[in-house]
Amino acid sequence: MQLQCLPVKIKMINLDLIELADLVRPKDIADEIINQNPDITIPIPLESISYAVGIRDIQYKPLEGLEGALVANREKSDGIILINENAIHQRKRFTLGHELGHFLIPRHGHNMECGINEMRTSHQSNLSKAQRIEQEANQFSAEILMPQSLFQKFHGFRDAPSIDCLISMATHFDVSFEACVHRYVSLHDEPLVIVFSHEGKVRYHCKNSSFPFWVNPIKGEAIPYDSFTKATLPGKSNSIYNGSSSSDTWLNENRDYNLPEEIFEDVYVMENGYAATMLYFEEVIEEK
Read off the pLDDT of residues 167-190 as tens digits, 9 standing for 90 and up: 999 999 999 999 999 999 999 999
pLDDT tens-digit readout, 33-67: 999 999 999 999 999 999 999 999 999 999 988 99
Percent residues over pLDDT 90 in the chain: 87
Q: Please check the confidence at residue 9 and state whether its pLDDT lies above 70.
A: no
Give the model's pLDDT for residue 2.
43
Q: Please check the confidence at residue 29 and state whether its pLDDT lies above 70.
A: yes
Give the model's pLDDT for residue 245.
97
Degrees, nearest 5: CA angle 37-159-36 = 5
Q: Please check the confidence at residue 4 and state whether its pLDDT lies above 60.
A: no
Residues of the chain with CATH 3.30.450: 150-280
Query: Nearest Cα to 110, choosing from 142, 75, 151?
Result: 75
Residue 1: pLDDT band (50, 70, 90) is: very low
Average pLDDT, the chain: 93
pLDDT tens-digit readout, 261-283: 999 999 999 999 999 999 999 99
pLDDT tens-digit readout, 83-112: 999 999 999 999 999 999 999 999 999 999
Q: Please check the confidence at residue 285 and state whether its pLDDT lies above 50.
A: yes
More confident residue, 12 or 183: 183
Give the model's pLDDT for residue 123.
59
Give the model's pLDDT for residue 7.
43
Taking the C-alpha atoms of residue 141 and residue 165, their distance in angstroms, rounded to an integer, is 21
CATH number of 150-280: 3.30.450
More confident residue, 29 or 11: 29
Least confident window among 119-123, 132-136, 174-178, 270-274: 119-123
Q: Residues 120, 97: contact at Cβ < 8 Å?
A: no
> May I ask the CATH class of domain 17-145?
mainly alpha
Residues of the chain with CATH 1.10.10: 17-145
Q: Please check the confidence at residue 225 and state whether its pLDDT lies above 60.
A: yes
Give the model's pLDDT for residue 226.
96
